[in-house]
Amino acid sequence: MKHFYSSLKERYQEYRSGVNLKTKLLKKKKAILVHQMGKVGPSSVVKSLRDLTSDISVYHTHFLNYQRLNKQLQAYRQKGKKLPGHLKQSQGLHKLIADRKNNINWKVITLVREPISRNISAFFQNLDGFIPGCLQQYRSGSISIEEIIDVFLVKYPHELPLNWLDWEIKSVFDIDVFSVDFPKSDGFFIFRHENVELLLLRLENLGESSHKAFADFLEVESFVIKKNNLAQNKEYFEVYGKVRQSIVFPQEYIDKMYASKYVQHFYSKDEIDRFRAKWLRLHSEQSQ
């Protein structure tokens, strides 16, 4: 009975959170949404945007696709855990975006990143989910760098960045980012569809492209990205560095990632060749 009332209270809080969000956005009629896969630099963008303007609400999400969001919600509920605030917020935003009649203007920002580096970063961001107590195990000598690499290669969902834009942009906002040639030299492109404007940037160009990209998108004169959430500030930085230095990717893995629609669309042949050379160099060094 106690669990029943606790669950009921949690669902009511979710409902109230959604109502409050809807009231706020229907009043303002516009919002900035930083929506993308993890480990492509969004936290620094979010902080900078919130420092830039107080007139428009800035939200940060990873899940808006119904199936993917519902999977996250069910995982928490099945464990009897309280939903984190960002998932409650995603619930409300999903419903508002799906309702095309509310006339809210969405300014959506998403970033892309070279997928192999991104996958390693994302693995370490969620390290305990793959290897509980990994850092403690490593420090005590009960797990090696090679064993950590094996878990990454076998258990991590490596194709996530290759499919994320179809799952979370095309299905949610009805914008197919692959339908338009991406200006690789600029490093960003602005899409417009109905009540949605989407700014898509490459992380690799963020420093050099961000001023013009955000100036065009937000109609501001200056915009500075304030760096935070850097890997070297993380507890796992030492192990992360050793994994990057030691990992040897199978040739077929490198071929699959860099032959993907995602990489071919956003990166030039020269850039892809440099990515390949970096990992193959590490492969060669480890083989000597």
* HEC readout, 91-124: HHHHHHHHCHHHCCEEEEEEEECCHHHHHHHHHH
| Cα distance between residue 39 and residue 262, in whole Å | 16
| Residue 1: predicted pLDDT | 54
β-pairing verdict for 188-193 and 196-202: antiparallel
Tell me which H or E stretch contains 262: helix 261-266
Q: Dihedral of the CA atoms 12, 15, 19, 22 (nearest 10)?
A: 160
Q: Could you report the per-residue pLDDT of 213-249, keeping only the tens digit for each?
A: 888 898 887 777 776 655 555 788 899 999 999 999 9
| Residue 207: predicted pLDDT | 77
Q: Could you report the per-residue pLDDT of 70-102, keeping only the tens digit for each?
A: 999 999 888 888 888 889 999 999 999 998 778
Backbone angles phi, psi at 110, to 5 degrees: -140, 150
In this structure, the number of other CB atoms found within 10 A of the CB of residue 88 comes to 20
Nearest to 95 by CA among 37, 190, 17, 12: 17
| Residue 246: predicted pLDDT | 93
| Cα distance between residue 101 and residue 129, in whole Å | 40
CB 29 within 8 A of CB 104: yes
| Residue 215: predicted pLDDT | 84
Residue 277: burial class (beta carbons within 10 Å; 0-12, 13-18, 19+): exposed
| Residue 230: predicted pLDDT | 55
Backbone angles phi, psi at 152, to 5 degrees: -60, -50
Q: pLDDT per position in the chain (288 positions), as tens?
A: 555 545 555 665 665 666 777 888 878 889 999 999 988 875 778 888 888 877 789 999 999 999 999 999 999 888 888 888 889 999 999 999 998 778 899 999 999 999 999 999 999 999 999 999 999 999 999 999 999 999 999 999 999 999 999 999 999 999 999 999 999 999 999 999 999 999 999 999 887 777 788 888 988 877 777 766 555 557 888 999 999 999 999 999 999 999 999 999 999 999 999 999 999 875 555 555
| Residue 18: predicted pLDDT | 65
| Cα distance between residue 164 and residue 185, in whole Å | 23
| Residue 280: predicted pLDDT | 84
